[in-house]
Structure 1
Amino acid sequence: MKMRVAETFWIQFYEKVTQPELWIMIGQGAFKIFLIVIVSSIVIRIGKIAIQKIFLLRMKSPLNYSERREATLLRLLQNVLRYVIYFNAIIMILETLTFKVGALLAGAGIAGLAIGFGAQNLVRDIITGFFIIFEDQFSVGDYVKIGNLEGTVEEIGLRTVKFKSWTGEVHIIPNGNIVEVTNYSVHNSVAYVDVSIAYGENIERVENIIKEVLEEMTDKYEEIVKPPELLGVQMLGTSEIVLRVTCEVKPRQNFYIARELRKEIKTRLDENGVDIPYPRMVMYSKEEVRSSN
């Protein structure tokens, strides 16, 4: 009896599998899915190019647009376009596979209502991301500090922010976790350098030497916004006098200009024989001590 049932099952299965209509339907479905994937990829690529062209035209217009904000909106619109096309492609593929999409969406709506209370973090991330972009708190290309992490913003999405540190690590932070942000790219930075000289040096002479160097720095480095300024004596240390130099530079160029200031000032002080104090060790032998006594 069992053998007859098995034989009947395999006979029916073989008849269904060998039907030309089945393979035609499978072939048509596979071809439709292939077309959906190809067309979706083409639409995404064309859409990204179109968005880039639109933003390039906006930047060339006489109106004043912020490059930072334009880059952020460009990346965001491209991401939204990709999500929308992918969603529509999935719906069309499910319809091709004879799934009842309407029933699935209705079930998804009921399930979404059920898990909505547990999706508060997701909603908070999206709302926070919207206000980050709307208020222009920071944009793509800005150097920011979020919590204890610093880096250059690479992407701002509706849910997360990606930024890359100067050592190469990429940090991804949910928007809802961003409580405090320090943006170093909005306004000009200030570079400052402390120069130590010995107590035996003539302060006025050293100040004149440093001022000569500072006058040459403005024409030498395009990152400098305003001419460097010598503020004067900053501190009287135990073995040195500290002079402070400040300089307003373009955003994020303060560390570079500070290094160049130190190099230029040190070179000029050496040329003029100005002594910069440094720790020294004096050693005495026992014989010298005894002979002196």
Structure 2
Amino acid sequence: MEEINDQVTNAWEYITGPDLWRILLSSALQIILIVLLALIIVKVTRKLVDKLFVNRQTGPIRISERRENTLKKLIKNVVAYVVYFMAIVMILGVFDIDIGPLLAGAGVLGLAIGFGAQNLVRDIISGFFIIFEDQFSVGDYVAVAGIEGTVEEIGLRTTKVLSWTGEMNIIPNGNLTQVVNYSVHNGLSIVDINIPYESDVADVEKIIEEVAVTLPEKYDFLVGTPEIIGVQNLEVSHFVIRVIADTLPGFQWAGERNIRKELQDKLYKSGIELPSPRVVLYSKEEKEALKRENRGQSH
């Protein structure tokens, strides 16, 4: 009983004594210092990366703005991961935890995970080749894995694509088996205008040409004057005139909307209305008269 009382007394004296609180205070200060140092290193590194890419614009090595944004985000993320990992290891060292066996165990565990998590390895390898081959970059409008949107971030494991309706899609890089990038080359706007048969083709094309020459001044994403291809189709109640125009990358849909709006407005003001479906009705007497007339023409 006395031994238990002595142990309790010693434990209480140790808890209330200055030695324990001195150790706790020293450890807390070390942890705070490590965390602050890690945050400062990450922040300074991000500023240095931004400054490096600004200076790169005047250097001999030139890369596109798309690729620049991708590399900047990737470098910042990698640096943050490395610094935070080192900070965690240093914090464990503050508590006198042997880091050597922990790192060795992490290596063995990582090897085992590497064999088991094949999808993870595939995602990382795919992410490396996406960045290395510059398949797409941050800010590009792409269609991947059945999703269309703007690339917000490219990581080694996942890619974030923001849909035009606001959804953020996070896609493993291993699932990006086919990519359609709309932001690499100029787009092509294709506009089909329906014209009623009562209208003269030459008059309609003249009106379209008058409007087309004014469009590049109104819309800076149009590359050159829209071009009339000609009569594309002959439908039941109208014929179709096709107009095409080169646009800046990713602006082909905006080009179609605005060209269609401008042409329709001008055609309507010129007296050329939209064609409407037609139904021709014949009475029984008229039908018989047409038959007799056709028979007479055949003889």
Q: If the length of structure 2 is used for normalisation, what is the TM-score?
A: 0.89
The one-letter amino acid paired with 1:102 is G
**Does the 8 Å contact 1:201/1:275 carry over to 2?**
no
Give the unaligned 5+ runs of structure 2: 282-299
**Does the 8 Å contact 2:151/2:159 carry over to 1?**
yes
Q: If the length of structure 1 is used for normalisation, what is the TM-score?
A: 0.91
Q: What is the aligned partner in structure 2 of residue 91 from structure 1?
A: 89
Q: Does 1:41 align with 2:42?
A: no
1:129 match: secondary structure: helix
Aligned partner of 2:79 among 78, 81, 84: 81
Instruction: Provide the alpha-carbon RMSD of the alignment.
Output: 1.8
2:152 match: secondary structure: strand
Q: What is the aligned partner in structure 2 of residue 59 from structure 1?
A: 57
Q: What is the aligned partner in structure 1 of residue 135 from structure 2?
A: 137
Q: Does 1:13 align with 2:5?
A: no
Distance 1:40 1:115 in 2: 28
Deviations 1:236-261 (A, max 9, x none): 01111111000000011111121111
Distance 1:9 1:74 in 2: 59
TM-fit CA distance, 1:149: 0.6
Q: Does 1:183 align with 2:166?
A: no
Distance 1:57 1:262 in 2: 44
| Aligned positions of 1:87-126 closer than 5 A | 87-126=85-124
TM-fit CA distance, 1:212: 1.0
Distance 1:211 1:7 in 2: 103
Q: What is the aligned partner in structure 2 of residue 27 from structure 1?
A: 25
2:134 match: secondary structure: coil
Q: What is the aligned partner in structure 1 of residue 293 from structure 2?
A: none
**Does the 8 Å contact 2:141/2:151 carry over to 1?**
yes
| Aligned positions of 1:86-235 closer than 5 A | 86-235=84-233
TM-fit CA distance, 1:226: 2.3
Q: How many residues get paired?
A: 281
The structure-2 alpha-carbon separation of the partners of 1:118 and 1:63, relative to structure 1 and needing over 3 Å to count, comes to: closer
TM-fit CA distance, 1:200: 1.2
The one-letter amino acid paired with 1:215 is V
**Does the 8 Å contact 2:69/2:138 carry over to 1?**
yes
**Does the 8 Å contact 1:233/1:241 carry over to 2?**
yes
Distance 1:116 1:203 in 2: 67
The structure-2 alpha-carbon separation of the partners of 1:257 and 1:114, relative to structure 1 and needing over 3 Å to count, comes to: closer
The one-letter amino acid paired with 1:7 is N
Distance 1:197 1:101 in 2: 78
Distance 1:263 1:111 in 2: 62
1:228 match: secondary structure: strand
TM-fit CA distance, 1:174: 1.0
